[in-house]
Amino acid sequence: MERIPILKMGPYLLVTIQVDMHDRVAMALQDELTEQIVKQRARGVLLDISSVEVVDSFIGRMIGNIAAMSKVLDAETVVVGMRPAVAITLVELGMALPGVRTALNVDAGMTLLKTAGKVATNGRPAR
């Protein structure tokens, strides 16, 4: 079975999806990623979907689930590299992914994660 690599970058995990996402690969990714968040004590996850050309409702739910599971495990998720066609499809399927942060590329996503780590619980920047 194909695996999606999960790379550690400081306190963050980078997941770059470069294979066709079918149900079994998506479920394995969810399981492996949640294990790695706990094992590595990750503070954030960058989910790079720039190679994903087509999504269906299952893959859309999987992206939302990864973000929700990461949040429960105290790690922020930023989805990066979403193609316009993928964004349009998700919205047309009624899956606008509320609460999921997005960025155009990995650099912008990393900046979002770093900024999120500096915000205190009262919403003000930490000192």
pLDDT 10s digits, 17-73: 887 777 888 889 999 999 999 999 999 999 999 988 888 888 888 889 999 999 999
Q: Is 23 part of a structural domain of the chain?
A: yes
Q: Is 124 part of a structural domain of the chain?
A: no
Q: For the chain, what is the domain count?
A: 1
Q: Is 125 part of a structural domain of the chain?
A: no
Q: Is 65 part of a structural domain of the chain?
A: yes
Q: Is 14 part of a structural domain of the chain?
A: yes
Q: Is 42 part of a structural domain of the chain?
A: yes
- In this structure, what CATH number is given to the domain that contains residue 33? 3.30.750.24
What's the pTM? 0.85
Residue 45 corresponds to which tokens in the numbers above?
């996850």
Q: Is 46 part of a structural domain of the chain?
A: yes
Name every residue whose Cβ is closer than 8 Å to that of residue 5 and which is 6 or more positions away in sequence: 15, 16
Measure the CA–CA gap between 23 and 60, rounded to whole angstroms. Answer: 11
Q: Is 48 part of a structural domain of the chain?
A: yes
**Structural domain of residue 29, as residue ranges?**
6-117
